[in-house]
Amino acid sequence: MFDFNKFEETILGCSNVIITAHKNLDLDAFGALLSMYFICEKMNKKVSILIDDIEFESGVEIALKKIVNLNYKVDIEDYKNILNYLDKDSLLILLDTNKKTMSQNEKVFEAVKKVMVIDHHIKEEDYNIISIYEYINYKSSSTCEIILDIIKRFNVVIPEYVATVMLAGIIIDTNNFYLKTTKNTYYCAGYLKELGADITEMQYLLKQDFNDYVDRQKVIENTRFINSNVAISVGEENKIYENEEIAKMADSILLFKNVEASFVIGKLDSNRIGISARSLGKINVQEVMEKLGGGGHSTDAATQIDSNNLNEVKENLLNLLKSIV
Ligand SMILES: [Mn+2]
């Protein structure tokens, strides 16, 4: 359970708040940053958002421009400027990741003494953040859903456009309310509508890039099936994929008829291959990923392998699956 008292006490007990999230911001991370900003403001804290990204995903870019046009006074700073804001009682809130190395700038962890983490990703064994308070729940659909519970609890009024961004974040992270969606997720969506989320504005945030879509379809087109219910897709030989792209393709393939589990293999860089695995629950994909050096949860797992040989990785996976399914 989220400890609202501890959360409030931690915010009230610091001199100022710096909020940050993972690199390559997505709409869940950005919605979380913005909404947490307004929560801290409501608690009368000086608050700034740390963003070091230079390029932005198209939805995030649109949202960034929009908050400037709407004249929302949100203080966004890069790492260099943030250093001027820090003292021994500053609080850093890390959102939508629980890894320092994945954060906007991991150096900030050396510059602050107090850290809070709010996230919905699996906490791995090498977790190394010493925090005053952390809430990391992989069962939550999104960081925006966790933060919306804080908004409800403290009756925070967020600007309408922030509600729009948060709703887009929930939609992205649940793949349109398919994944990790609970009663509370729908309730949050309804509450965001009440706060003024605009569906037309949201569509602009969720628009896909045509070429990315075509690239994903190419991989999906090459899906092969084992026992007709396990799908395996392999990325193109000379293409490097973002981790999230591989994960999204595995999410998409799980939606097809008969598919109980999906595995997508793709190059993450010249000598690293990633596998994302998804399951509806009957097949434990965590067991499979663990045998390949990875981890996760029974319905949502992944691994990374030092290799540049897609075929070999696929064969290893196939062999493993033959003994399981
Ligand atoms: Mn997220």
CATH of the domain at 127: 3.90.1640.10
Q: Are residues 29 and 48 in the same domain?
A: yes
Q: Are residues 83 and 117 in the same domain?
A: yes
CA of 235 from ligand 1 middle (Å) equals: 24
Say how many CA atoms lie within 13 Å of 310 toward its Cβ. 18
The answer to whether 230 touches 321, Cβ cutoff 8 Å, is yes
Q: Are residues 66 and 172 in the same domain?
A: yes
Q: Are residues 236 and 201 in the same domain?
A: no
The answer to whether 117 touches 37, Cβ cutoff 8 Å, is no
The answer to whether 251 touches 278, Cβ cutoff 8 Å, is yes
CA of 162 from ligand 1 middle (Å) equals: 16
The string of DSSP codes covering 3-17 is: -HHHHHHHHHTSSEE
Q: Which of 206, 234, 257 is the last residue of a domain?
A: 206
Q: Are residues 182 and 63 in the same domain?
A: yes
CA of 39 from ligand 1 middle (Å) equals: 19
Spacing of C-alpha 167 from chain mean position:
14
Q: Residue 196: which domain range? A: 4-206
CA of 143 from ligand 1 middle (Å) equals: 5
How many domains is the chain partitioned into structurally? 2
Query: Listing from the earlier edge strand, what are the strands of the sheet with 114-119?
Result: 76-77, 46-50, 16-21, 91-95, 114-119, 133-136
For residue 41, which phi and psi values (nearest 5 degrees)?
A: -60, -45
Q: Are residues 15 and 130 in the same domain?
A: yes
Q: What is the pLDDT along the chain (325 residues), one digit of tens a residue?
A: 999 999 999 999 999 999 999 999 999 999 999 999 999 999 999 999 999 999 999 999 999 999 999 999 999 999 999 999 999 999 999 999 999 999 999 999 999 999 999 999 988 888 999 999 999 999 999 999 999 999 999 999 999 999 999 999 999 999 899 889 999 999 999 999 999 999 999 999 999 888 888 999 999 998 999 999 999 999 999 999 988 899 999 999 999 999 999 999 999 999 999 999 999 999 999 999 999 999 988 999 999 999 999 999 999 999 999 887 7
Q: Are residues 91 and 194 in the same domain?
A: yes
Q: Are residues 64 and 115 in the same domain?
A: yes
CA of 322 from ligand 1 middle (Å) equals: 33
